[in-house]
A = this chain, B = another copy of it.
Amino acid sequence: NHIIVTGFGTSGQEAVHELLARGTDPREIVVIDGSEKALELAEAHGCNVLCGDSTRDKTLKDVAIHRARSMIVSAGRDDTSILITLTARHLAPRLPISIVVRNEDNEVPARQAGATTVINPVSFAGLLLAGSTTGEHIADYMADLAASGGRVKLIERAVLPEEIGQPLSAIRTGLGLRVYRGKRPIGFWEEDSRRLQTGDVIIEIAEGDGHGNALPPV
């Protein structure tokens, strides 16, 4: 029931940093990298480490991938990251796998390789840049939403028993944005959001943890 992080470059480091900020026990994190130097940094944070090649079955078996609760893949090169994803998906058919790709053309292959979540930082930056031309707070709000610290955070959770039959707008843990009913997304403005059902997954905005900050001080 651990989190596997393959590749401890800048994205991998930022991810671990945020996991720790969210209260994840560093002993639940296993970092794999080919560089001893990168691993020293991970060890200094209290994470478990393994020096090895994550594209190999043996490496992933050595970190007990079949028992992991999720995996983060950010190997620095898209081809390597996609091969790691393929290898991992083969060994752990139901494992949530998040991958960073740098080239937009590799988003679809990454999903085909079995990634649950595909993140393209460059593409995201472009969206935020464009959004920032229509409002100076847009990018800051997005950063706050993505980080658990600060004033708000975006949460995904299962519907609570006491919420069944109630509207999404009535949840008391935050502001309800979207319901996933199976694979179908239902917006806050849609009729079907007025009656939550067993099995629904809710996306909501809740108050942030306050400590820490998504934004650098000015």
Contacts and interface: CB of A to CB of B under 8 A. Distances in A.
Given A111-B218, A123-B14, A132 B117 contact: yes
A17 B15 CA distance: 28
A139 interface: yes
B129 A216 contact: no
A156 B132 CA distance: 9
Interface of A: 3, 10-19, 22, 69-70, 72, 74, 96, 98, 100, 104, 107-108, 111-112, 116-119, 121-143, 145-148, 151-152, 154-157, 175, 177-178, 180, 185, 187-189, 201, 203, 205, 207, 214, 216-218
6 contacts: A18-B130, A96-B133, A135-B156, A142-B146, A175-B175, A175-B177
